[in-house]
Amino acid sequence: MEHLPLAIAQLASIEVLIAVVLGTLFGVFVGALPGMGTVVALVVALPFTFSMSSTAAIALLLCIYCSSVFGGSISAILINTPGTPQSAATVFDGYPMAQQGKADLALGWATVSSVFGGLFSLAILVVAAPQLAAFSVRFGQIETFALILFALTCIAWVSRGSTVKGLLAGSIGLFLAMIGPDTMTGMSRFDFGIDELAGGFSLISVLVGLFALSEVFYRAATGGEAGKAALLSMVGFRIAPWPEWRIRLTALVKSSAIGTFIGILPGTGATAATFVSYAEAARSSPRREGFGSGEPEGVVASESANNAVTGGALVPTLALGIPGDGGTAVMLGALLIHGIVPGVQLFQNNPEIMIGAFVTLFFANILMFFVGVLGAQAFTRLLRLPEPLLMGSVLLMSLVGAFAVRGNPADVIMAVAAGIFGLLLRLIRIPMAPIVIGMALGATFEQSLRQGLMLTDGSFLAFFQQPIALVILLLTALVISWPFLRAALRRCVAEGRRQ
Amino acid sequence: MMDRVPAVAVAALAAIFTASPAWSDYPDRKISLMIPFSAGGGTDVPGRFFAAEMEKILGAGIIVKNVTGAGGTIGATQLSKARPDGYSLGFMPVGTTTTQPHIRKTSYGRESWEPICLVAQGPLYVTVLEDSEIKTMDDLIALAKSGGVVTGGPPPGSLPHIAQAAVSKAYGVKFKYIPHEGINEVVKSMLGGRVTAAVWLGDAAQRFKLRPLAILDADRSAEFPEVPTLAELGHPVESHVWFGFFAPKGTAAKIVGVLSEACDRAVKTESFAANMKKAKRQTRYLPHAEFKDFFQRQFDRNGALLRELGQVK
């Protein structure tokens, strides 16, 4: 910590301050636009960093990274469209809250949870980065497989009432993830010889199609009545009273811990983290019956976890030079361009850069809170726009977002196709969330399974001989069988009483 | 209001007429440079350095477009179908241009490009972790003979995959190859003890503290002067990743001339050299005619290697 004064001195320049403020504002804004996720925000900013000092460049990118993850929750809550894939789980409870006229409250829950998650993971990053990085590499393909399997149980929670339909949707999602390049063979699958499909579906275009475009189509088809409820929503920003928070404190801390932990594992991803966190909260919460219909705890679980991933993902990025997710991969590239080599050497050679990054992250999270409070005033007013205008802009932004991710015009067509598909699903009442869960997790799920089987020479039994994997697999089995177990337990108790 | 309409018409006509010989004052508007991998990645970094110099020399803005997916083939396909007017250009690596067309059905091939110049390269190294017990190639081969070497790399058909197969063939041993998404995932597997060795670029060796056992090049490198070449060890296997500057086929000779002249100046600027050094990358320049020849030989040779590996479909 003897480098703290030097690091702060470096940060206390106009250039860095501007980078921090602009980066946070820009991140929240881009994150909130449907389709424009963290990676797009970072890529847009990347060329500007070439002419900056490395301290300012790192500050800018770190601020964008954190705040864009938070920004995603705004559109998830207000217009039923996650701004980033990481906020997909925020939709489950955030949007029902907005429909009940509690958009201001929902934004309050999301903002505070995001800031808490961000700071929680920062604390972990500062205290134990090298030790955790050493652990993270022990978490191999087999453990990843088990973890993703657990995350997939989330499908059950978001499709209550119609498990069969949920499983169907989840399978569609898993299948969509199989289209395109296959890492294990290098071949392109299910592309029917169409060049544009050789790269697979982009998660973002399917996401904006299923959520945003199908919403637009649906409202157009039903003459705009579907959205009436949201118009009554309160404008502004409101933080729920302390007793409300106190009973959800366990969920807040637990979700932050889950987010940080999964962030530390390179290649697992923030989206998986939110689903794991949501599934865990839904499993253990005393308010689990309300999940999916506007329970604030769902928003807390998702938003604290996805922001906690930021600090977690920086652990392997800074300590090993291995990026924890897509956003950190872009940042790593920027560091290399500035001649800074992340990894063990960074801790030894440039401690002031590390400390500077920590200080920046701290301020970024604090600033994010104020941007959330002030931004909510503007964002909630959006809902009072005449519906054709609001839906028109959603349509436009979604299509631009779908294109911007990979610069591929075919992605726009895929987004529209996903929108039409989403409309059909709404009409026959098949939940769409499981499709996104399946698709977001599908590639890692399949790849970790196949890599794991290659490592064990095709033995499934060996999966159960890894202690960490075994624990996660048992937990997964428990989650799946819990409803049956509980029913059985109740029967036993009831019989016991009768005797 | 009345006189504005003719003015617009005149401007439009003027634009049409002055634009007719497209190359006469090339470039007169922004040029798009397609890079088929994501921003900040292995191809993007030298590509952006190169674009910055070209921008200054050509006096026209260059917009870098990252069109990603499917081993770079999505971007390359787009570029191959672009109008060959000198305003759609690409910065592409060896894999996208010379191995992918053999392993999958791409709509582009050997004759789809006007290769302008070779800009950068990186020889591949056989690497293990720095604290590994394997100190030399002999140690690695001895371990492989007992069947204990797992190698990691990108999907089959990629250059590192071909290279590690060529090494194992030269030594007459077997490596168990586990495909990964990229070097980051491979290093994670190495640190976790699931993968023994990887054949990769030198900058990764520096970044992740890997120990290079041998270089797959004719000569030793300036970055690792103490690392022997495989030829010195009696098994002359060579493999480079390279990055070139391409235009779609059919680009007018005059435009190609302007671009290759600009390229010649760009790679020799001090700022380009300084940027490349900072990012620990190697510049390797081949002018238009030589690069064209080099590209076609590489295309055929990699095709032959892939057929040997049974990767050609």
Determine contact, residues B221/A355, Cβ cutoff 8 Å: no
pLDDT digits (tens, 9 = 90+) for B41-52: 778 888 988 998
pLDDT digits (tens, 9 = 90+) for A118-129: 999 999 988 888
Q: What is the pLDDT of residue A233?
A: 57
* Range of the structural domain that residue A485 is part of: 4-498
- Residues with Cβ < 8 Å from A83, sequence gap 6 or more? A31, A32, A33, A34, A35, A36, A37, A71, A72, A73, A74, A75, A76
List helix spans (H) across A214-350. 214-221, 228-231, 242-246, 249-264, 270-284, 296-320, 326-337, 344-349
**Interface test mutation site (partner B, options A42, A195, A315, max chain B beta carbons within 10 A):** A195
- B13 within a domain of the structure (yes/no): no
Which of B44, B64, B70 is nearest residue A333 as measured by Cβ atoms? Answer: B44
Instruction: Name the band, by pLDDT with cuts 50, 70 and 90, for residue B275.
Output: confident
The tokens for B12 are 């439009």
Q: At what angle do helices B253-266 and B44-58 cross, to 10 degrees?
A: 110
The tokens for B97 are 């241009």
Q: Under DSSP, is residue A293 helix (H, G, I), strand (E, B) or coil? A: coil
From B183's Cα to the closest Cα of chain A, the distance in A is 9
Q: What is the pLDDT of residue A117?
A: 94
Distance CA A11, CA A148 (A): 39
Chain A positions in Cβ-Cβ contact with residue B194 (cut-off 8 Å):
140-141, 455
**A188 inside 8 A of chain B by CB:** yes
C-alpha A357, offset from chain centre = 22
Average pLDDT, chain B: 83
Distance CA B192, CA A112 (A): 36
- B20 within a domain of the structure (yes/no): no
Instruction: Name the band, by pLDDT with cuts 50, 70 and 90, for residue A400.
Output: confident
Type of residue numbered A287: R
Q: What is the pLDDT of residue B198?
A: 92
* Interchain CB distance below 8 Å, B279 and A323: no
Q: What is the pLDDT of residue B224?
A: 86
Give yes or no: residues B30 and B109 share one domain: yes
Chain A residues 189-208 within an 8 A CB cutoff of chain B: 193, 195-196, 198-200, 202
Chain A positions in Cβ-Cβ contact with residue B107 (cut-off 8 Å):
195
Is the per-residue pLDDT at A230 higher than 60?
no
Question: What CA–CA distances, in Å, run from B194 to A146, A268, A448, B251?
Answer: 17, 17, 13, 48
Q: Looking at chain A, which residue has its C-alpha nearest residue B148? A: A455
Type of residue numbered B151: T
* Interchain CB distance below 8 Å, B191 and A320: yes
* Range of the structural domain that residue B143 is part of: 128-215
Q: Which one is predicted more confidently, A120 or A50? A: A120
**A183 inside 8 A of chain B by CB:** yes
Chain B positions in Cβ-Cβ contact with residue A336 (cut-off 8 Å):
40, 45, 207, 279
Instruction: Name the band, by pLDDT with cuts 50, 70 and 90, for residue B310.
Output: confident
Q: Which one is predicted more confidently, A109 or B275? A: A109
- Residues with Cβ < 8 Å from B234, sequence gap 6 or more? none
pLDDT digits (tens, 9 = 90+) for B209-244: 889 999 998 888 887 889 999 888 888 888 888 999
From A453's Cα to the closest Cα of chain B, the distance in A is 10
**A323 inside 8 A of chain B by CB:** yes
Which of these ranges, A38-42, A66-70, B128-132, B277-281, has the smallest mean pLDDT?
B277-281
- B231 within a domain of the structure (yes/no): no
Q: What is the pLDDT of residue A499?
A: 66
Question: Per DSSP, what are the bridge partners of residue B122?
Answer: B241
* Interchain CB distance below 8 Å, B187 and A332: no
| Range A206-234 average pLDDT | 72
- B202 within a domain of the structure (yes/no): yes
Determine contact, residues B150/A455, Cβ cutoff 8 Å: yes
Instruction: Name the band, by pLDDT with cuts 50, 70 and 90, for residue A229.
Output: very low
pLDDT digits (tens, 9 = 90+) for A290-330: 888 888 999 999 999 999 998 888 888 888 778 777 788 88
* Interchain CB distance below 8 Å, A46 and B39: yes
Q: Number of folded domains in chain B? A: 2
Instruction: Name the band, by pLDDT with cuts 50, 70 and 90, for residue A418.
Output: very high
Q: What is the pLDDT of residue B312?
A: 67
Q: What is the pLDDT of residue A252?
A: 93
Q: What is the pLDDT of residue A318?
A: 82
- B283 within a domain of the structure (yes/no): yes
The helix, strand and coil proportions of chain A, stated in percent and rounded to the nearest 5, come to: 75, 0, 20
* Interchain CB distance below 8 Å, B206 and A200: no
Type of residue numbered A69: V
| Range B64-72 average pLDDT | 78
pLDDT digits (tens, 9 = 90+) for B78-98: 888 888 888 889 999 988 888
| Range B119-148 average pLDDT | 88
C-alpha A365, offset from chain centre = 17
Chain A positions in Cβ-Cβ contact with residue B68 (cut-off 8 Å):
199, 406-407
Q: Number of folded domains in chain A? A: 1
Give yes or no: residues B253 and B290 share one domain: yes
pLDDT digits (tens, 9 = 90+) for A160-195: 678 888 899 999 999 998 998 787 877 778 888 777
Is the per-residue pLDDT at A420 higher than 90?
yes
Chain B positions in Cβ-Cβ contact with residue A184 (cut-off 8 Å):
155-156, 179
* Interchain CB distance below 8 Å, B178 and A316: no
From B313's Cα to the closest Cα of chain A, the distance in A is 9
The tokens for B6 are 């003719």
Q: What is the pLDDT of residue A174?
A: 92
Which of A267, A341, A407 is nearest residue B206 as measured by Cβ atoms? Answer: A341
Chain A residues 35-74 within an 8 A CB cutoff of chain B: 39, 42-43, 46-47, 50
**Interface test mutation site (partner A, options B66, B149, B188, max chain A beta carbons within 10 A):** B188
The tokens for B139 are 């140690």
Q: Which one is predicted more confidently, A5 or A108? A: A108
Chain A residues 222-251 within an 8 A CB cutoff of chain B: none
Question: Per DSSP, what are the bridge partners of residue B286?
Answer: B118
Distance CA A112, CA A156 (A): 27
Give yes or no: residues B118 and B146 share one domain: no
* Interchain CB distance below 8 Å, B69 and A341: no
Is the per-residue pLDDT at B151 higher than 90?
yes
Q: Looking at chain A, which residue has its C-alpha nearest residue B102? A: A187
Instruction: Name the band, by pLDDT with cuts 50, 70 and 90, for residue A225.
Output: low
Q: Looking at chain A, which residue has its C-alpha nearest residue B312? A: A187
Place of tokens 């560091």: A335
Is the per-residue pLDDT at A408 higher than 80?
no
Q: At what angle do helices A249-264 and A270-284 cross, to 10 degrees?
A: 150
Q: Which one is predicted more confidently, A495 or B216? A: B216
Rg (Cα) of chain B, in Å, rounded?
22
Chain A residues 414-473 within an 8 A CB cutoff of chain B: 447, 451, 454-455
Which of A138, A186, A330 is nearest residue B158 as measured by Cβ atoms? Answer: A186
* Interchain CB distance below 8 Å, B69 and A339: no
- B285 within a domain of the structure (yes/no): yes
Q: What is the pLDDT of residue A329?
A: 80
The tokens for B53 are 């110099």
Determine contact, residues B209/B200, Cβ cutoff 8 Å: no
- B230 within a domain of the structure (yes/no): no
Give yes or no: residues B118 and B247 share one domain: yes
Q: What is the CATH number of the domain that holds B299?
A: 3.40.190.150
Q: What is the CATH number of the domain that holds B201?
A: 3.40.190.10
| ipTM associated with this complex | 0.77
Q: What is the pLDDT of residue A344?
A: 67
- B300 within a domain of the structure (yes/no): yes
Q: What percent of chain A has pLDDT over 70?
A: 95
Which of B40, B154, B280 is nearest residue A330 as measured by Cβ atoms? Answer: B40
Query: Cα dihedral angle (A278, A282, A288, A290), rounded to 10 degrees?
Result: 30
Chain A residues 267-296 within an 8 A CB cutoff of chain B: 267
Give yes or no: residues B60 and B107 share one domain: yes
Give yes or no: residues B108 and B138 share one domain: no
* Interchain CB distance below 8 Å, A266 and B74: no
Chain A residues 136-165 within an 8 A CB cutoff of chain B: 136-141
* Interchain CB distance below 8 Å, A141 and B45: no
Is the per-residue pLDDT at A110 higher than 90?
yes
Give yes or no: residues B57 and B82 share one domain: yes
Give yes or no: residues B111 and B150 share one domain: no
Q: Which one is predicted more confidently, A468 or A405? A: A468
| Range B243-251 average pLDDT | 90
Q: Looking at chain A, which residue has its C-alpha nearest residue B99? A: A186
